[in-house]
Amino acid sequence: MNYLVIDDDPVFSAVLARVLTRRGNLVLVANNGAEAQEHCRNHALERVILDLKLEQESGLAILQRLRILQPSIQVLMLTGYSSISTAVDAIKLGAINYLSKPASVDDIVAAFVPAHSPTETPIENSPASINRLEWEHIQRVLKDNDGNISATARSLGMHRRTLQRKLQKRPAKR
């Protein structure tokens, strides 16, 4: 398999690339959208592992550009800040799957393999926690305000600094 790892964390990228290479894959690494597009123009890629939030770029925007260059590539969104709204957006834009960090290499590779049938996947019967619902609501309102922290804080009726502190935390467990 030909993989492209797109992440702004050089340590994570290097470790993931090394493990995938040891498993017999060709792996390229990009730290930003421009590098990713260059690799996409110059190489026939099969699979892309794309971080949702790079330093200065959105992984969703990069996803759109890569799918234009190579429509048949399989893209896996990987993020430390997961929410239902970003997962839905990623899938709508052509990602085949969406995983939260930390994820093992086995989890990442397995995410590229399509499920045999929807009935084989058990559905959890436990509701999400209050903290998780709050996190997802904040993410949805933030998306509706195009990432504007001040407008989002006003919409939610909270102080901007409080919202910034909540956004810096990892999402709550389900």
Sheet order of strands, 2-6 included: 26-30, 2-6, 47-51, 74-79, 95-100
pTM, rounded to two decimals: 0.67
Q: Where are the domains of the chain?
A: 2-114, 118-174
Does domain 2-114 fall into CATH 3.40.50.150?
no
DSSP conformation class of 81: S
> Which pLDDT tens digit goes with each residue over 34-77?
898 999 999 988 999 988 888 888 888 899 999 989 888 999 98
Number of neighbouring beta carbons within 10 Å of residue 50: 24
End-to-end Cα separation, the chain, in angstroms = 33
Domain 118-174, classified CATH 2.60.40.10, yes or no: no
3-class DSSP assignment, residue 85: helix
Among 17, 6, 91, 119, CA closest to 54: 6
Lowest-pLDDT range of 13-27, 80-94, 99-113, 125-139: 125-139
Token reading at 66: 């890569």
